[in-house]
Amino acid sequence: MTPISDKQHLQADLLLVLTTLIAAAGWIFSKEALAGFAPLLFIALRFSGAGLVLALLCLTPLRGLSRAQFISALQVGVLFGAAMVFWILGLEFAQHLGVGAFLTSLGIVLVPLLNLLMGGEKPGRLVYLSLPFVLAGLAFLSLDSEFHLGFGELCFLLSACFLALMFIQNSRAATRIPALPLTAIQLLVTGGITGLCSLVFEDWSFQFPAAIWGWFLASMLLATSLRFLLQTYAQGLAPPSHSAIIMTLEPVWTAMLASYWFSETMSLFQLIGCSLIFTAVLVNRAPALRQWLRRGG
271: domain range?
Answer: 6-202+209-294
> pLDDT tens across 270-296, in order?
788 888 877 887 787 677 667 666 765
Q: State residue 21's pLDDT score.
A: 92
| Distance separating alpha carbons of residues 105 and 130, to the nearest angstrom | 13
Q: State residue 217's pLDDT score.
A: 94
Q: State residue 292's pLDDT score.
A: 65
Query: Does any domain span residue 150?
Result: yes
pTM: 0.76
Q: State residue 241's pLDDT score.
A: 47
Residue 157's SS3 state is: helix
Lowest-confidence range among 22-36, 48-62, 76-90, 231-245?
231-245
How many domains does the chain fold into? 1
Query: Does any domain span residue 1?
Result: no
When mean pLDDT is compared over 4-13, 46-55, 196-205, the highest value belongs to: 46-55
Lowest-confidence range among 87-101, 111-125, 138-152?
138-152
Neighbours of 104 (CB within 10 A): 25
Are the CB atoms for 220 and 265 separated by under 8 Å? no
Query: Does any domain span residue 131?
Result: yes
If one compares 139 and 158, the residue with the highest pLDDT of the two is 158
Q: State residue 235's pLDDT score.
A: 67
Query: Does any domain span residue 222?
Result: yes
What's the chain's average pLDDT? 81
User: In this structure, what are the phi and psi dihedrals at residue 123, rounded to the nearest 5 degrees?
Assistant: -65, 150
> pLDDT tens across 232-275, in order?
777 667 655 456 657 777 777 887 888 788 887 777 877 888 88
